[in-house]
A and B are shown apart, each in its own frame.
Chain A
Amino acid sequence: MLCCRGAQRLHHDLDEDFRAAAVACLDGLYGFALALSRDRGAAEDLVQETYVRALAARRRASPGENLRGWLFTILRNIWKNERRRRRPEAVDDVDSIATAPGVADPETALDRRELRERLSQALDGLPGPFREVVMLRCVLGFSYQEVAGIVGCPAGTVMSRLARARAQLRRSLDATNGAGPGGSA
């Protein structure tokens, strides 16, 4: 058993670990909030509320390996509940999106800034369920299982949404690169 002083020191160390991990997640949380809300003000509110709730729930236990995933789950739940409260759930019809044959190289002769702008536009054009898995996996680097835990769907669904989202991204990037959908390099 820890003596009282030892327990205090352990708690202090855990607090510092939690703070360091929480700060490290800030940019990713903001990007994810932007992807969900597509509104800077709403994204800032989402992130701030996420930290408020995480700190309130923090009392339950020490930080674990998946603290990052936990924070993203909190943010998504806040967004989902807020969205439901404001208006009836508007479900993006991901099944209605057609797949298309392979098209041109999306990154030919582009500098990074231009590519970033085009990619942001292409991401904005994705349905919500596609946009969030692309952000979580491709931008933030979560594993399929972690994405499944955050989004609340089977990992197989994550995989299929990613495949279709990337196909749509490729078409969007090709379209803004001068080649129409279905065109070639």
Chain B
Amino acid sequence: MSGCDAFRRLVSAYLDGELVDEDRAAFEAHVRECEACRSSLEDERRVVQAVQRSLPLHQTPAGLRDRVDRLLAAPLERARPAGWGTPLVVAASLVALALAGVALLQRSSAAPPRVASAFAAVAADSHLRHARGQLPLEVRSEAPAEVSAFFAGRVPFHLTLPDYPVDPGARKPYHLVGGRLVAFQDDYMAFVAYRMDDRPISLLVTSEDRVRPAGGSEVASGGLTFHFESVSGLKVITWSDKGLTYALVSDLAVTGSRSCIVCHGSDEERRKIEGL
């Protein structure tokens, strides 16, 4: 019965499309075999359908619509707030964490379904939308300085993307594609897109006082704590350092360690991750 209790708690998530991959498959397999859980599922499905059939529930009064139209018709101001913080290059200690992360991200199909942390989920969602072409970049450039300059004044923190020289004739293992702003709660975060072996990798950055990493499997290293999660079939690593919080997202075709190259591409740092 305890197994049924666990699955009953997931009925809403299943109906709302929030269960994916092995979690969804495990739920469907259980419901096929369990009449009581199947009945619970159908009960809740009828409520969901009843709500859908009754929409729209409300109509905006004409007077309110007029007032909002007048508000929006006024010119928008566009002053830039001053940034804060110091220039940052992402810490090299992430490399060591990738080793542990690769193992931690190997989730067993028998593991109970989990709900990802909000920040990791937004990072994964932004990654997916960008990969589908639904989240166009606002600045497209392979130059870290140019993408960094785009974020200056647009986000309430200072972000300097790292760059590393590549030997003449050598092939750079990754390419910066560009960036854009992504809204979260009542502010904006920096979304940075990369490509490696023609696969997308993304980095979402916000301030640590707004978001602190949570959830997933924690690994401490180099004075930092890294959180490893699997969200919607993507690998998400989140951590905070020097006042900023990061989420690095890659798909299953890119190992967690390789994705770290986007910030650890120098010769010295790349040696640390060879063989991972």
Task: Contact check, B47 vs A59: say whether CB atoms are below 8 A apart.
Answer: no
Knowing A58-B76, A60-B156, the reply to whether A148 touches B118 (Cβ < 8 A) is yes
Task: Contact check, A58 vs B77: say whether CB atoms are below 8 A apart.
Answer: yes
CB of B253 closer than 8 Å to a CB of A: no
CB of A80 closer than 8 Å to a CB of B: no
- Selected contact of B53 from candidates A52, A64, A112, CB within 8 Å: A112
CB of A169 closer than 8 Å to a CB of B: yes
Q: Give chain A interface residues in 22-77, CB to chain B under 8 Å.
A: 22-23, 26-27, 30-31, 34, 40, 44, 47-48, 51-52, 55, 57-67, 69-70, 73-74, 77
Tell me the minimal C-beta distance from A132 to chain B in angstroms: 14
Task: Contact check, A65 vs B135: say whether CB atoms are below 8 A apart.
Answer: yes
Knowing A15-B76, A47-B68, A55-B74, the reply to whether A65 touches B183 (Cβ < 8 A) is yes
A120 to B54, CA, bound (A): 9
Q: Which residue of A lies closest to B136 (CB)?
A: A65
Q: Which residue of B lies closest to A99 (CB)?
A: B8
* Chain A positions within 8 Å of B10 at CB level: 159
Task: Contact check, A55 vs B71: say whether CB atoms are below 8 A apart.
Answer: yes
Task: Contact check, B54 vs A119: say whether CB atoms are below 8 A apart.
Answer: yes
A66 to B118, CA, bound (A): 14
The interface size bin for chain A is 35 or more
Knowing A60-B156, A67-B183, A159-B12, the reply to whether A40 touches B61 (Cβ < 8 A) is yes
* Chain A positions within 8 Å of B118 at CB level: 145, 148-149, 154-155
* Chain B positions within 8 Å of A144 at CB level: 13, 16, 18, 115, 121
Task: Contact check, B184 vs A155: say whether CB atoms are below 8 A apart.
Answer: no
CB of A178 closer than 8 Å to a CB of B: no
Knowing A60-B81, A64-B182, A162-B12, the reply to whether A23 touches B51 (Cβ < 8 A) is no
Q: Summarize B's interface: helix, strand, loop or mixed.
A: mixed
Task: Contact check, B77 vs A59: say whether CB atoms are below 8 A apart.
Answer: yes
Task: Contact check, B72 vs A55: say whether CB atoms are below 8 A apart.
Answer: yes
* Chain A positions within 8 Å of B76 at CB level: 15, 18, 55, 58-59
* Chain B positions within 8 Å of A66 at CB level: 122, 182-184
Task: Contact check, B71 vs A52: say whether CB atoms are below 8 A apart.
Answer: yes
A170 to B51, CA, bound (A): 10
CB of B59 closer than 8 Å to a CB of A: yes
Interface residues of A (CB under 8 A from B): 11, 15, 18-19, 22-23, 26-27, 30-31, 34, 40, 44, 47-48, 51-52, 55, 57-67, 69-70, 73-74, 77, 102-103, 105-107, 112, 115-116, 119-120, 123, 134, 137-139, 143-145, 148-150, 154-156, 159-160, 162-163, 166-167, 169-170, 173
**A-B CB contact pairs (8 Å), 22 listed:** A26-B65, A27-B58, A60-B187, A62-B138, A62-B181, A65-B135, A69-B183, A73-B185, A106-B50, A115-B53, A115-B54, A116-B54, A119-B51, A123-B57, A139-B55, A139-B57, A145-B121, A145-B122, A163-B44, A167-B44, A169-B51, A170-B46
